[in-house]
Every structure is written in structure tokens, then in C-alpha cells.
Amino acid sequence: MLNSGRQGHTKIAGVAIFVLLILWLYKLNAGNYLLPTRESTLRPGQENAEVADPEATLKIEEAVETVEAVATSTSIPDAVESPVTPSKKPTGGKKHEKTVIMGKTYKEDATWVKEKLPDWRPIIYAVDSRTDKDYLHVLVNKGKESMPYLTYLIDFYDDLSDVNVFIHAHENGYPRAWHNDPQSADYSAVKMLELLRLDNIREKGYVNLRCNPNPGCPADLHPQKESFDKGRIEIGWRKLWAHIHGNNLYPESVGVACCAQFAVTRERIHEQPKEYYEKLMDWLLTTDEEDAGRVFEYFWHMIFGMPAVHCGSNYRNCVCEVYDCTAGAEKRRSLNSLLMKRIV
């Protein structure tokens, strides 16, 4: 019985093999080998579709993921405390000879820059309005002009002009623009920039736009003192120094003509890495100093490589170094009238 069962199974297996062989031969004749070719794995309707290279598909997927990640990381949140600077990033390309940088409040009119200085690239920050579409924006309105100044140095670090001029938004008028040199009848910022000697800036790397030494010179701060009256700038100044340098080796005296208006070349700015300016911004964002802008006012010249006491000895010489004393009669008149005055 066992042998007869085994023989029966053998016959059945033989018949099955024979049937499969017949089917295989039929498919062979029809051109279909019953093998899993590329065409047999396509869904209906895909027979004529091009199949993308797997490596190329992977690269595309990776690129999409990268773009999505960048878009997410650079989105600008509404909160003022956003860690991303909500300002227009430079796109590179065209190199600019000169840029004027300033911050403005919603009460100040800065349209004069584009209207009266058409050959300057204007970089203007609305410091107290995040909805003003005509201007760039800062993280938070803090530290007066130091916030827009640092924002520019960080965001435009790779797109700086040959000459970068940092000024206030006051076009003219006394007393609001009293710090403008040369002090013409209307204290005009336009005249100040028109007379500015770019060759002198390129030669020196950094130039304070104010020659009048009062206030600020010869030495307004004395950081090495053991104690200070409440409200003295030295208190915050020493904190900024320690944050940047990591020590308390303060200079004996600090002096510079006010009032945080200056010009710097691209090369001088690039003497420090971008991270250096980000570190300055970090201090500004986190400090509890009530007048951080005044602290920076006595720090800018040192940031750009000048000695702690940076005061000229001759007012007339300074004016003619910083501004064009050989300009036409109309422009020169304001300089001559100023030089005839007694400097207080």
C-alpha cells in the first residue's frame, strides 16, 4: 500500500511538471517569460511611463527636504523676541561703493535719503514698527542706534559696501541734528555726506564724522576706577568689555567725540569675524543696562581698531581731513563759517 501511494504521488507530480512546462513554452512563444521584468511591476496605465533613476529621485527628495527645512528655519515669527533677525537679507551680486545705515522711529521721516542722496545705497531700519513695509526691521527697539548698526553688520556682513556710513535719521535742524559736522546753518546731514572724503575713509579704515571734541574728549570715561556713581556709563561699559574680552583689563581712560556717527570700510569691518558682531548683539539683547546705546557710543571706535582715547588735537585739520575743504564755493561756505567760530 505504501509503494502504491508513493507511485501515485509521483505520477501526479509528473503531470504537474508537464502542465507547467506547457504553460512556460506558451508564454515563451508569446514573448512573456513569466519573469518579473520592469514592465510587469508597473501599475495599469504606467506601461509607457518613464521610470526615474533611483539615485536622482533620492537627490530630489533630499533637496525638497532641505528647502522645507530652510523655509521653516527662516520664517519670521510675529514675536519681537524672535531669534531670527526680521530684516531683509542681502542677495549678493552687485557691489556697492557706499551705503548709509540708520535707524528711524515711526515719527521720523527718512525719505530724504533716497530723494537727496541717490548715489548712496540706503539701509534704513524702522526700529519701532514691524509693519512698515518700506524699511527693514530689527529684533527689538533697544540700545538706540546700536541695534540697527549691529543688525546691518551681521545681516550684510557678506554684502558690505566699500564705505559704510552709520548716521542718525535727522536730516537737519537744531537742536535735533546738533551733532552733525560740519555745523552749517541747518546742520544738514545731506551736506555732511556730500562733503565727506571717501579717500580719507579708505585710507584710515575708520573715521568719526564729528570733529568737534565736545562732548566726549579728551577722556570722558575712566573704567579702572573702583566705584562709580549710579548711572555712570563706565558701569555698563565694563560689562560689555568683559563680555567681549573675557577679562577686566580695562583701559585707564576712554574718549571719543560723540555721537555714534562714523564711517568704516569693508576691510576694517572684516578684520573681525561675523561671530564677533553676533557676540556684541548678544550682549545688547540680554543686558539690563538702561542706556546701552551710550555704552556703545564709547565702544564703536575700539570695535573698529582705534585706541581707547581717539581724539583729534586740531579741529581745523580734522574738518579738512574728514570733509572736502576744496569743494565748490557753495559747499565750502558752511565749512569756512564754522572754522571762524570759537569751538566750545
% of the chain residues with pLDDT over 90: 62
pTM of the full structure: 0.72
Positive or negative, the CA dihedral 311, 317, 321, 324 is positive
Selection from 24-33, 59-68, 288-297 with the highest mean pLDDT:
288-297
pLDDT value at residue 181: 84
- Which one-letter DSSP state was computed for residue 41? G
pLDDT value at residue 52: 34
* Residue of 278, 300, 286, 298 whose CA lies nearest to 238: 298
Which tens digits make up the pLDDT trace of 109-131? Answer: 999 999 999 999 999 999 999 88
Q: What's the 3-state SS for 111-152?
A: CHHHHHCCCCEEEEEECCCCCCCCCEECCCCCCCCHHHHHHH
Positive or negative, the CA dihedral 301, 304, 309, 311 is negative
pLDDT value at residue 313: 86
pLDDT band at 38 (very low <50, low <70, confident <90, very high): very low
Which tens digits make up the pLDDT trace of 190-207? Answer: 999 999 999 999 999 999
For helices 274-286 and 233-245, the axis angle rounded to 10 degrees is 140
CB 269 within 8 A of CB 164: yes
